[in-house]
């Protein structure tokens, strides 16, 4: 049985990952909601800066961690001139600062595992960028660069570091779009359908398996051929 830390456990993708890994020992984090499945749960607002000391308290008594899975993301549909700096700070805190803080705190525990892995759920826009989502895309892109850099940095410690970059996933973020916008998007998608959260969860499950020990520094695209 593995020790897994799942950040963003109550989002659509996070819930699907939790379901895939429900038989593992899981420590979960979310802002307000409580996970439906069993875990050791902590509430944490990632949109505000928090210290390493605050986070270390949540792992008191935990000697080693096998996997960190980081899923949070906040949709932000705005032109850059209409985006406030407070919104920019919130996006940075959720996608970059919180991720780095978790990695810094968990790194000694990951190094004690014989098959440690870090998986970041990024986005298609982190690679290709998106109009009206420039700030969101910026920090998702930062996640992917961090993944590629840390894969090299942590390879001697036998820690794999990968990202999964979904396209348009069925869930709360997509439902913020109008029916007209979703219909137009489906016309642009080669497969003509939305990605199910379980498809992303299955990719994450594979990346933490023994069969993926030589896969590191990769951004696995799940977008139905939208961007190749």
Q: What is the mean pLDDT of residues 26-31?
A: 96
Q: Per-residue DSSP letters for 67-78?
A: EEEE--------
Residue 3: which residues within 8 A CB-CB, separation 6 or more? 24, 25, 27, 62, 64, 65, 66, 67, 113
- Mean pLDDT, rounded, of the chain: 93
Residues 6+ apart with CB under 8 A from 12: 169, 170, 171, 172, 173, 197
**Alpha-carbon span 109 to 65, nearest angstrom:** 5
Whether 13 shows a pLDDT value over 70: the answer reads yes
Rounded-to-integer distance, Cα 36 and Cα 39, Å: 9
Share of the chain above pLDDT 90, in %: 78
What is the average per-residue pLDDT within 35-51? 95
The residues, any chain, with a CB within 8 Å of residue 98's CB and separated by 6 or more, are 7, 46, 50, 70, 72
Residue 220 has pLDDT above 80, yes or no: yes
Catalytic site includes residue 43: no
Question: Is the predicted pLDDT of residue 195 greater than 90, yes or no?
Answer: no
Q: Mean pLDDT, to the nearest integer, of 125-154?
A: 95
Flag the least confident range among 79-83, 95-99, 177-181. 177-181
Q: What is the pLDDT of residue 1?
A: 66
Residues in the chain: 228
Nearest-5° Cα angle at 68, 55 to 14: 95
In this prediction, residue 174 carries a pLDDT of 72
d(CA 3, CA 112): 11
**What number is the average pLDDT over the span 94-123?**
97
Going from the C-alpha of 175 to that of each of 11, 12, 24, 93, the distances in angstroms are 13, 12, 31, 24
pLDDT at 73: 87
What integer is the mean pLDDT of 19-47? 95
Q: Rg of the chain's alpha carbons, rounded to an integer?
A: 17
pLDDT digits (tens, 9 = 90+) for 75-92: 888 999 999 999 999 999
DSSP class of residue 115 equals S
- Structure tokens of 223? 């977008």
User: 179 falls in which pLDDT band (50, 70, 90)?
Assistant: confident
Over range 1-22, report the average pLDDT. Answer: 94
pLDDT of 130 reads 87
Mean pLDDT, residues 173-195 taken together: 77
| Ramachandran area for residue 160 (φ above 0: left; ψ -120 to 50: alpha; else beta) | beta
The reported pLDDT for the residue numbered 167 is 85
Domain 3-222 fold: Rossmann fold (3.40.50)
Q: One of 43, 128, 136, 227 is an active-site residue; which one?
A: 136
For the cut 70, the answer to whether the pLDDT of residue 214 exceeds it is: yes
Give 189 or 131, the one with higher predicted confidence. Answer: 131
């Amino acid at each position: 049985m593995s020790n897994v830390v799942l950040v963003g456990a109550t989002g659509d993708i996070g819930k699907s990952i939790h379901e895939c890994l429900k038989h593992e020992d899981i420590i979960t984090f979310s802002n307000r909601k409580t996970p439906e499945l069993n875990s050791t749960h902590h509430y944490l607002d990632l949109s505000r800066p928090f210290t390493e000391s605050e986070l270390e308290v949540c792992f008191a008594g935990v000697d080693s961690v096998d996997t960190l899975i980081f899923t949070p993301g906040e949709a932000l549909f705005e032109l850059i001139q209409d985006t406030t700096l407070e919104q920019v700070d919130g996006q940075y805190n959720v996608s970059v600062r919180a991720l780095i803080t978790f990695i810094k705190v968990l790194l000694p525990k990951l190094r004690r595992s014989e098959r440690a892995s870090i998986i970041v759920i990024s986005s298609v826009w982190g690679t290709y960028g998106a109009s009206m989502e420039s700030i969101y895309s910026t920090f998702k892109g930062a996640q992917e660069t961090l993944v590629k850099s840390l894969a090299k940095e942590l390879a001697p410690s036998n820690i794999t570091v990968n990202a999964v970059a979904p396209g348009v996933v069925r869930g709360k973020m997509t439902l913020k779009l109008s029916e007209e916008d979703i219909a137009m998007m489906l016309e642009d998608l080669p497969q003509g359908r939305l990605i199910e959260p379980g498809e992303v969860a299955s990719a994450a499950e594979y990346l933490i398996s023994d069969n993926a020990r030589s896969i590191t520094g990769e951004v696995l695209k799940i977008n139905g051929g939208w961007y190749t």
